[in-house]
Amino acid sequence: MKRIGMEVSGGCQCGAVRYRATAMFDNSHLCHCRMCQKASGNIFAALVAAPDDALSWTRGKPSIWKSSALVERGFCANCGTPLFFHHLENGRTNLMIGSLDDPHAFSPHANTCTENMVAWFDTITGIENTGATENNGADWAAAIKESSNQHPDHDTTSWAVRGRDG
């Protein structure tokens, strides 16, 4: 696995937890293990690793749950966004690609743990593409945009977390 000198930032949906990495590994992949499926609430977890010594938390701290003796997973306790998978012994943290400010930067190179891959995974590129949200419900899309509590896809000097239930 090659270390690349690339700086990235990212964080959770509500903005309570933000991170920055000053280097990355070239290991982007889709993990289909049942733990990653459950942790991401999806059929796979899209992951790419940062060296632990290059990763810092720039706002807040993630909550941690040990999913096994060797693995901890990080998430935002406020909004629930899954942020990472961290093997306690290998010196790197696999960030959830969707939590990056620029998820387009890391297209996956591999599928892993494919014994748990859902049977219909290979068909998803052939299903109907209904287009942009605005094309399928302009009023709904405008209402969501108007009332969104989501943090923007870039660092902010300050951010008041919105959308909390008291």
CA–CA dist 117, 123 (Å, integer): 12
Give me the pLDDT at residue 4, please. 82
Q: Across residues 76-104, what is the average pLDDT? A: 96
32 has pLDDT over 70: yes
Between 164 and 122, where is the model more confident?
122
5, 91, 86: which is closest to 45 by C-alpha?
Answer: 86
Instruction: Out of 3.90.1590.10, 3.40.50.720, 3.90.660.10, 3.40.50.970, select the CATH number for domain 3-119+133-147.
Output: 3.90.1590.10
13 has pLDDT over 70: yes
94 has pLDDT over 90: yes
Domain ranges within the chain, ordered by starting residue: 3-119+133-147
35 has pLDDT over 60: yes
40, 6, 37, 39: which is closest to 24 by C-alpha?
Answer: 6
The percentage of residues in the chain with a pLDDT greater than 70, rounded to a whole number, is: 98
Q: Are 106 and 100 in contact (CB under 8 A)?
A: yes
**Phi and psi, residue 108, nearest 5°:** -65, 140
The percentage of residues in the chain with a pLDDT greater than 90, rounded to a whole number, is: 73
Q: Across residues 126-149, what is the average pLDDT? A: 79
Q: Count how many Cα atoms sit within 13 Å of the Cα of residue 18 in the half-sphere of its side chain.
A: 20
pLDDT digits (tens, 9 = 90+) for 37-78: 999 999 999 999 999 999 999 999 999 999 999 999 999 999
100, 96, 36: which is closest to 71 by C-alpha?
Answer: 36
Burial readout 13-34 (b: 16 or more C-beta within 10 A, e: otherwise): bbbbbbbbbebbbebbbbbbbe
Q: Are 81 and 14 in contact (CB under 8 A)?
A: yes
Mean pLDDT check: name the lowest of 91-105, 119-133, 138-152. Answer: 138-152
Q: Are 35 and 59 in contact (CB under 8 A)?
A: no
